[in-house]
Structure 1
Amino acid sequence: MRVIEIDGGQGSAEALRPAQRPLPAPGPGEIRIRVRAAGVNRPDIVQREGRYPAPPGASDILGLEVAGEVEAVGDGAARWAVGDRVCALLGGGGYAEHAVVDARCALPIPDDLDFIQAAALPETAFTVFANVFEGGGLKAGETLLIHGATSGIGVMAIQMAKAAGARVIATSRGAAKAEAARALGADVSLDATRDDLAAAIKAEGGVDVVLDMVGAAYADLNLKALKTGGRWVVIATLTGARAEIDLARLMVKRLTLTGSTLRSRPAEEKARLAAAVEARVWPWIVAGAVRPQVEATFPLDQAAAAHARLEAGAHVGKIVLVP
C-alpha cells in the first residue's frame, strides 16, 4: 500500500515522501479501513519535526483520523461489517491507503456526509468534547472563550458550544478570520491583531470556560477573563509552554486550570470517549447543528503541500488528504 513516510525520521514538510509498505492485518478487536480521506492536524507537524513521537504500539506513520470503508474485521469487532462507512480516531497510520484501528474508536458516518467531511470529524470532535464539555464542564447558558477560533478545533468548538446552548466569544488573527468565526456562530468575534481583547471580553461580562490553544502569551488575559469558578483548559502552547501566572487571582476567583492530550490516552479511555461522543455529539451532526468545515484537500502524495498550508496559518477549518 502507498503511505507517507518522513525521510530521515524528521524534518521540514519536504521530508514527507511517498513509500510502499505491506498491507496490515487487523488483530483482535480491530478493523482495517480502506482510507478514502485522512485529516491533517498540527500534532502531525510536531511529530514530523521529531518532537512528538508515536505512543508505544502505534504506527510511526502520521495521521490521527481517517474516513473510509471497513474492508476487514478482526475477532471481537462484531459491530462492524465489510463495507460499512466509518470514520475513526487512531494513534497513527492515517497517511496511508489502508489503516488498522481499534474498532471501538470508529464511528458511523452520517448519511449526508462524504468521506472528506467525515475525515475532518474525529480528532476535532473528540478533542472538543473531552476538553470543553468534560474537562471544562461547559453548560447551557455559560460563555466559552475560544482562542484560535478558525482552526480545525476552533470551528468545531464554536459549533458544539452553540449546539449545547452556550454563548461563544472567539478570538482569531485578522478581519477575515474574525468574520469567518462570526459566520460559524460566534456571538462575539474578536480580531487579535486589532481589538483590545481584555477590554472587549470584560465588556461582555467575562467567561466561564477558556479553550486555550495559544499558551503563554494569553495566560494573563485568561486569568482576567474568567469569572469566579471559571475553568481554563489548555490543549496547545503555540506561543510557549512556560508562563507566569498570578496564583492569588487563581485562588480568589476559585479557578480551575487543567490541560490534556488525546493521543496518549489509554485504549479503554479512548473507547469510553468514543461512546460518549457518539451519544452526545453525533445527534448534533445528524441534525445539521454541527458540520465539518474543510478548507482544502490534497492528494496523499502531496502531504508536504498540505503541511505547508497548515503551517502558513491562513486556513479556516480542516485540511484533508485524499489517497
Structure 2
Amino acid sequence: MSALGELRALKGKPPGRQRKQNRAAFLFLAPWFLGLALITLGPMAASFALSFTRYNLLSPPRFTGIDNFARMFEDERLMKSLAVTFQYVFISVPLQLALALLLAVVLDRGLRGLSFYRSAFYLPSLLGASVAIAMLWRQIFGVDGLVNAVLGWFGIEGQGWISSPDTALGTLMVLNVWTFGSPMVIFLAGLRQIPAMYYEAAAVDGANRRQQFWRITMPMLTPIIFFNLILQIIGAFQSFTQAYIVSGGSGGPVDSTLFYTLYLYQRGFANLDMGYASAMAWLLLVIIAAFTAVNFWASRFWVFYDDQD
C-alpha cells in the first residue's frame, strides 16, 4: 500500500476494537451526562426562567420581566445578608488558610504518627458542615456551654456568644476556621513536591529557616495557595447549614448571622417567593463568578509556576 493509501486508511473509521472501546466509554459516561442534564443544567434553566416571574409554588408562574432584580436594590435585608456574607468570607477564609498552612509546615517536618495527625486534622473538614456539628457548636458557645465553663475557671464571667449580635457571627467564623483539614492536606502535598535541593542550596548560601520559608516555600506554594483560595471562597459563599442551625433559621440575633444563602432560603421556602429566590440565586452565581475572575486576573501578579521564566 502506498503512503497516500496508508494516510487515507488512518483518516478512515477507527478499527473495530477502538470502536468498541469508544462505545464502552460513552456507556459508562452516560449516567454522568444524564445527571448533568437532569440534576444540574435542567434546574439551572428552570431557575433562570423563574427569576423573571412571580411564583409562589401554589399557582402558575406569572412573567414580570426584571422586577425581581429591580426589587433587590430596595431590599434592606438582602443588603444586610450580603454584608454579613462578605464579612464572613473576607475574615474566616484567610484565617483558615493561614492555620492550614501553619499546621502543614509543622507536619512536614516529619513528626511521628504523621498519618494519624493528618487524618485527625482532616476530620473537621468532613464534619464541619453537618447539622450535628452545628448543633454541638450552638451548645459549646451557649450560656452554659464549654467556652463559658473554661472562662469560669479563670474567674471570667461568660456570656451568650450565640445570642449576642456582636459575637454570633464570630462563632461561625471560628467554626469555618476549624474546618482547616482539607486545605491543610493539599498544602502538605504541595510541600512534599518542593525539591529538597532548593533548601540545601539556600542553606549553603547561609539562609536561615525564616528566609527559606519566604524565599523558597511561599513562592513554590503560590499555585497551591491560589487553588485553596478559590475553593474556600466558593465554599464560604455557599455556607448555609451552620447559620441555619445556630440561629434557628432566623439569621439572628438582629440578622447578625443572616447569610445570603439563608436569606435566599427564607424568601423561597418560608415566604414562597420562588421567583425572587431564583433571581437571588443567579445574583449569587454572578458574585462568585466575579470573585473567581478577579482572583484569576490577580494571580498573574503573585502566582508563580515552574515553567515561568
TM over 0.5: no
> Which structure: greater strand fraction?
1
TM-score (norm 1): 0.24
Bigger Cα Rg:
2
> Which structure: greater helix fraction?
2
